[in-house]
């Protein structure tokens, strides 16, 4: 039984705020609501539905006088009966096309295929697949697993077989500091979809998790193309006093500005594509995020977080395994065991049910 089948009243906890904007400025409206499970959103301008505006936030990259008016968001509780079954398959075949914008499925009993990659670079054993074809105009596509009953992994690929895939986007846990809403165990990806291209969508469970899947997607043909960011390395380990370096590569159609953040706080002087971390200490440990802003459109894109950690705990050296767990090496015996370090909880932004956690906006 899906947890949101029980009746629950939707409560708006934060209303969209009125704004006065100049032509060409960027606009973002947000609404916050609570309910028992998955919520649906529909933004309206002067009472008319805005196509594709189906999340808790609505943005216009370059505001024009014609965009002026009264904006509202209709928030409703989604019941399991409202969700249709999606054509998930255990093996990737490219024929199970996704058409509905929201639906459900399950990865219980599913298995990995020989040669299948680790989705979002994390270990999973119960992957299922869908395919989706971008519309003729392409656009910015958004997929998320809000409302799923387990910790999901989500990945998008192109290619003709599981042994010949090109990664487009992947995510374990949504981690966007600029959105005050927060949840847990939800994955979300956004990418520039190319007209008519067939994409393969994989959903798996972190560390062998399985259960009920809810998949939501939308494509915005009017939104400007996203800058594509890649921060390296994804995890950085050092000793106290070490000097470390983070760098970001950017693919963008316009010139951009840079700003680095540590745990959602802007880093003074961190305005280049490379960040030097000098004299590593506990205060510099955490999650680093790069924000890139288009100088022409004002559109902001955030990178996935990269984790910086000190790798000595109680005299033991820490390495990171491929599945994200830490291998603790006993310097005397040479034995290795798997462990998790405290303080690795990322700041989370989820689009589903919530539990207590720390979240902060970018500052």
Look at phi and psi of residue 125 and say left if phi exceeds 0, alpha if psi is from -120 to 50, else beta. Answer: alpha
Q: Which fold has domain 3-80?
A: Immunoglobulin-like (2.60.40)
Domain ranges of the chain: 3-80, 83-220, 228-298+306-339
Q: Are 28 and 58 in contact (CB under 8 A)?
A: yes
Contacts of 24 (CB under 8 A, 6+ apart): 62, 63, 64, 298
pLDDT of residue 343: 30
- The dihedral built from the CA positions of residue 173, 223, 147 and 360, taken in this order, carries a sign that is positive
pLDDT in tens, 13-35: 889 888 888 888 888 999 988 87
The residue behind tokens 């370096």 is 245
Q: Are 239 and 253 in contact (CB under 8 A)?
A: no
**Cα–Cα distance measured from residue 191 to residue 225, given in angstroms and rounded to the nearest whole number:** 8
Q: Are 59 and 26 in contact (CB under 8 A)?
A: yes
CB atoms < 10 A from the CB of 253, how many?
13
pLDDT tens-place values along the chain, 363 residues long: 223 233 346 788 889 888 888 888 888 999 988 876 667 788 888 877 787 788 889 999 888 888 888 888 878 766 554 578 899 999 998 889 998 788 889 999 999 999 999 998 899 999 999 999 999 888 889 998 877 878 899 999 999 899 999 999 888 877 555 444 444 567 888 898 999 999 999 999 999 999 889 898 989 887 667 777 777 787 788 899 999 999 988 888 889 899 999 988 899 999 999 999 999 999 999 889 888 888 888 878 888 788 898 876 544 444 443 344 444 333 333 333 233 233 332 222 222 233 333 334 445
Residues 144, 197 contacting (CB under 8 angstroms) = no
Q: Answer yes or no: same fold for 83-220 and 228-298+306-339.
A: no
What top-level class would CATH report for the domain 228-298+306-339? mainly beta
Give the Cα-Cα-Cα angle 190, 167, 127 (nearest 5 degrees): 90
Report which secondary-structure segment, H or E, holds 42. strand 39-45
Write out the two tokens for 327: 């291998």
**Three-class SS of residue 108?**
coil
pTM, two decimals, is 0.60
Give me the count of residues in the chain.
363
User: The domain 83-220: what is its CATH number?
Assistant: 2.60.120.380
């Amino acid at each position: 039984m899906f947890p949101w089948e029980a009746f629950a009243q939707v409560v708006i906890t934060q209303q969209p705020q009125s704004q006065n904007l100049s032509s060409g400025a960027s606009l973002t409206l947000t609404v916050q609501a609570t309910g028992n499970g998955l919520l649906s959103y529909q933004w309206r301008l002067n009472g008319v539905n805005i196509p594709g505006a189906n999340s808790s936030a609505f943005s216009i990259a370059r505001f024009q006088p014609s965009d002026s008016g009264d904006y509202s968001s209709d928030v409703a509780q989604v019941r399991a009966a409202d969700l249709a079954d999606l054509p998930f398959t255990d093996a990737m075949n490219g024929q199970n096309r996704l058409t509905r914008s929201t639906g459900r499925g399950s990865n219980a009993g599913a298995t990995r295929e020989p040669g299948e990659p680790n989705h979002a670079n994390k270990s999973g054993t119960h992957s299922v697949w869908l395919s989706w074809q971008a519309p003729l105009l392409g656009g910015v596509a958004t997929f998320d697993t809000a409302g799923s009953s387990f910790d999901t992994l989500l990945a998008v690929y192109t290619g003709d077989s599981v042994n010949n895939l090109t990664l487009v986007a992947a995510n374990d846990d949504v981690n966007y500091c600029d959105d005050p809403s927060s949840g847990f165990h939800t994955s979300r990806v956004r990418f520039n979809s190319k007209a008519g291209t067939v994409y393969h969508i994989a959903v798996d469970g972190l560390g062998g998790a399985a259960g009920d899947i809810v998949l939501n997607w939308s494509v915005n043909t009017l939104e400007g193309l996203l800058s594509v960011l890649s921060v390296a390395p994804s995890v950085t380990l050092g000793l106290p006093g070490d000097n470390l370096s983070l760098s970001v590569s950017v693919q963008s159609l316009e010139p951009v500005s840079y700003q680095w953040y540590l745990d959602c706080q802007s880093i003074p002087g961190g305005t280049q594509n490379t960040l030097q971390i000098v004299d590593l200490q506990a205060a510099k440990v955490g999650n680093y995020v790069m924000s890139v802003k288009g100088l022409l459109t004002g559109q902001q894109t955030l990178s996935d977080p990269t984790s910086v950690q000190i790798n000595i705990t109680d005299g033991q050296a820490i390495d990171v395994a491929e599945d994200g767990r830490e291998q603790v090496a006993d310097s005397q015996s040479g034995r290795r065991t798997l462990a998790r370090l405290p303080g690795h909880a990322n700041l989370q932004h989820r689009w589903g049910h919530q539990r207590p956690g720390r979240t902060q906006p970018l500052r």
